Amino acid sequence: MTPNLSTPSESQYLNCIRCGLCLSVCPSYREYLSETASPRGRVALTRKGLEGELELSPNLIEQMYGCFACMACNEACPVGIRPADLALEMRQVQEQIRPAGWKQTLFGGLIPKPGRMELATLPLRLYEMTGLRRLVHAFSLLKLMPAQIRDMEAMLPRLPQRPLRQVLPVVTPAKSENRCRVGFFLGCAQSLMFAQESAATVRVMARNGCTVVTPKETVCCGMPAAGYGRQDLVREQAQHNIALFERSNVEIIVTDCATCGSTLKEYGKLLAEDPAWTERAASFSKKVRDVSEFLASIPLEKPQGRIEGRVTYHDPCHLRRGQGVWKQPRALLKMIDGLEFVELPEADWCCGSAGSQLITHYETSLKVLSRKMDNIEGTQAEYIASGCPGCQMHLNVGIRQRGLDVKVVHPIELLDRAYNGKKDS
């Protein structure tokens, strides 16, 4: 291997006792029953690759990209092996040996640049705003497209006319007695595709006594770059975001994106060995809260409006396992009069999104989604709530495929509607 290569330590993979407990919770193993598609298999491949018994070939690393990084195996392992983390680290090893130029362009030059992302997604907003999307569906033109293109189109929510970053005030004053000054981390997907959700998040916090500060210069949390082995870019993005929020002088940092929250809470660990950033990163991460986690920690006004219907909840992996937050979103939903909450079987089982799996591992992604949709159909719910944009987009694919009359929402959207006494349109 290349000298000075940053690799996982032996303690991260040597202690695997091959008990197989991870197999029962792994989405990819469940679909293929192949050892190489399992957490245990990936640990073995990691060990043999790093010890020189196997070449660190593209085929070996492809097994690491087959991991959904849902972290169920991390939770199941009785000896503390974290196979999902190992898979991500092995992707980083590949980037050090065979760096891919397109990853620098995408994760270094596009995604962390809000203005460029807004320009790159303009065609999608025009597709919505001009009525072209409505015509495409009215004339069933998508039937002429390959199945994967149809499903990628189905992922798109109703897109906002303008990114939320352009219209949301930097400071939103509290609507009642000011209790705290909260920083809001506006995620990329939330600004570009789920603007109504994040606008609702800000309204709900302001209604409950929070002055909300939304810095416009935030960049990507870093998870996309981490998923493709570019930890160097994650560190750059982390340093930018930490410095930005330090200037905002906020007590708490809230995000309504499960993936963002999980990543932001890891900044302290990510920069722990950088003397210039150790304390700053640790301080930043201690302030981060998911919006449901934060709202559950403050005196919360009970909504006076009603929403009639049945709702179920899908746990994003980065929220339940990454942050240990799962009771709070359910509690928020149960506050709403008229809304019948029904628990989703296997609510914490991965939906199959994992960020970009519908693009990179299409068939496997749909197989995992099918299991989730079977469970959703069984609840007969009219709403499926989830706090992750990737999960929401993927669930939209399943709903479109099966022709279900189910709306995918963020829990805070329903809470905001109940506060405003609005019925679903």
Task: Give the pLDDT confidence of 252-280 residue by residue, as tens digits.
Answer: 999 999 999 999 999 999 999 999 999 99
Q: Which of 387, 368, 52, 71 is nearest to 227 (CA)?
A: 71
In this structure, the answer to whether residues 151 and 67 fall within a common structural domain is no
In this structure, the answer to whether residues 68 and 129 fall within a common structural domain is no
pTM of the entire predicted model: 0.95
Above 80 in pLDDT, residue 27?
yes
In this structure, the answer to whether residues 285 and 407 fall within a common structural domain is no
Tokens of 268: 């302290």
What is the pLDDT averaged over residues 311-339?
Answer: 98
Q: How far apart are CA 28 and CA 35, in angstroms?
A: 10
In this structure, the answer to whether residues 282 and 318 fall within a common structural domain is no
Tokens of 206: 């302001």
What is the pLDDT averaged over residues 391-398?
Answer: 98
Above 60 in pLDDT, residue 319?
yes
In this structure, the answer to whether residues 107 and 207 fall within a common structural domain is no
**Cβ atoms of 209 and 174 closer than 8 Å:** yes
Query: Residue 4 falls within a domain, yes or no?
Result: no
User: How high is the pLDDT of residue 422?
Assistant: 57
Above 70 in pLDDT, residue 419?
yes
User: How high is the pLDDT of residue 4?
Assistant: 66
Above 60 in pLDDT, residue 341?
yes
What is the pLDDT averaged over residues 58-63?
Answer: 92
Above 70 in pLDDT, residue 415?
yes
In this structure, the answer to whether residues 69 and 146 fall within a common structural domain is no
- CA distance between the termini of the chain: 59
Tokens of 243: 């410095």
**Cβ atoms of 118 and 161 closer than 8 Å:** no
**Cβ atoms of 354 and 298 closer than 8 Å:** no
% residues pLDDT > 70 (the chain): 98
Buried b (16+ CB within 10 A) or exposed e, 113-135: ebeebbeebeeebebbeeeebee
**Cβ atoms of 64 and 97 closer than 8 Å:** no
Burial group, residue 301, by CB count within 10 angstroms (0-12, 13-18, 19+): middle
In this structure, the answer to whether residues 174 and 290 fall within a common structural domain is yes
What is the pLDDT averaged over residues 346-360?
Answer: 96
Query: Residue 1 falls within a domain, yes or no?
Result: no
398-403 contacts at long range (C-beta below 8 A, 24 or more positions apart): 398/369, 398/370, 398/372, 398/373, 399/373, 400/151, 400/154, 401/151, 401/154, 401/373, 402/373, 402/377
In this structure, the answer to whether residues 174 and 268 fall within a common structural domain is yes
Task: Give the pLDDT confidence of 200-252 residue by residue, as tens digits.
Answer: 999 999 999 999 999 999 999 999 999 999 999 999 999 999 999 999 999 99
Above 50 in pLDDT, residue 355?
yes
Query: Residue 3 falls within a domain, yes or no?
Result: no
Q: Which stretch of DSSP H or E encloses residue 133? A: helix 132-138
Mean pLDDT of the chain: 95
Which residues span the domain enclosing 21? 10-97
In this structure, the answer to whether residues 107 and 171 fall within a common structural domain is no
Chain mean position to CA 240: 20
